Amino acid sequence: MMLKKRLMSAVAMLLIFSVIVLTACGESAPGSSKEGKGTGQGNPASGKKYKIATVVKLTGVAWFDRMEEGVKEFGQTTGHETFMQGPQKADAALQVQIIEDLIAQKVDAITVVPFSAEALEPVLKKARDKGIVVITHEADGMANTDFNIEAFDNLEYGAFLMDNLAKAMGETGEYMTTVGSLTTKSHMQWEEGAYKRQLEKYPNMKAVARQLETSDDQKIASEKLRETLKAYPNLKGFQGASGNDAAGAALAVEESGLIGKIHVVGTSVPSVSQKYLESGAMSMIGFWDPAEAAKAMNTLAVKVLEGKSGEIKDGYNLGVPGYEKLKVVDGKYLYGSAWVGVTKDNVKDYDF
């Protein structure tokens, strides 16, 4: 009888111990929680890898080829699945379709360089409503984004380009400006910053044609310069916003035999502009490294996915060159200090 009681006690103790173990296994460890998406609430499981898509304005051009290098390098370095997509021509509707497809694929994050910020607002809202993190670039003031990151203050960059155009023109004469699209916010801000600087500092210069659209197409930019030159034969300067504008203008200058008479500045990359800088058809280019911009966007996406959005404050170091001391406006509009100015004297310092 005594043996039977002891056996029953042992069984009871074993059952109690099992319940305690099972209960403990069902509880989270202190400080842990499930991953957060969309607005970045919560922290991810340690070591989780994410699927992050980057959508650009168009593919097959040097600027976004360089950006793709950054996308791939980020993935190789971090282990996240990263890739880039974009239409073959700059078209907001085509970008919308690509993003719709990515939403259907249930990617964790979408980083995007919009051709038209306004056109993408609805589809990016849809993505965020589905729990997908959205990071934008060249879309200052965009509403449906977790963060928009710019390489610099856009108005200041525009003023920087104007200072260089004024220098080339001797601070006098007629000039024109182009943008990829009137709905590309960064292009419009660069142009506005340049025009404001001209009015304030260079009274002997005059804008005879402003904000002509090129659709980010080098051939169209070349045609715009030729057309403006017919209307204003004393044209002396050109400033282009799209990555293809300055090269298109420089080609027209070369073919028209106007080197030294029309001065060209704009945003471009050295691989496209080196020959024009060396020939004198182009005076100067400004840019930021698209590869580093890609890394900045992808880094931000991971921060949000990991529930670390609150860390992004004035002075934050994103760990990417040019983005080591961020300026933060209204909580989600971020600015680095990543612009570079290149002339024939230092163009060979860059390999992209």
Q: How far is CA 54 from CA 68, 232, 256, 267, in A?
A: 9, 41, 39, 21
Tell whether pTM > 0.95.
no
pLDDT at residue 2, as a whole number = 38
pLDDT at residue 59, as a whole number = 96
pLDDT at residue 47, as a whole number = 78
Q: What is the block-wise mean pLDDT of the chain (352 residues), using blocks of 10 residues?
A: 40 39 34 33 59 97 96 98 96 97 98 96 98 97 97 96 98 98 96 98 98 97 98 98 97 98 97 97 97 98 97 97 97 96 96 90
- DSSP letters for 220-238: HHHHHHHHHHHH-TTEEEE
- DSSP letters for 122-162: HHHHHHHHTT-EEEEES-TT-SS-SEEEESS-HHHHHHHHH
Scanning the structure block, which residue is given the tokens 């090129």?
214
Distance CA 90, CA 249 (A): 19
pLDDT at residue 17, as a whole number = 39
pLDDT at residue 351, as a whole number = 87
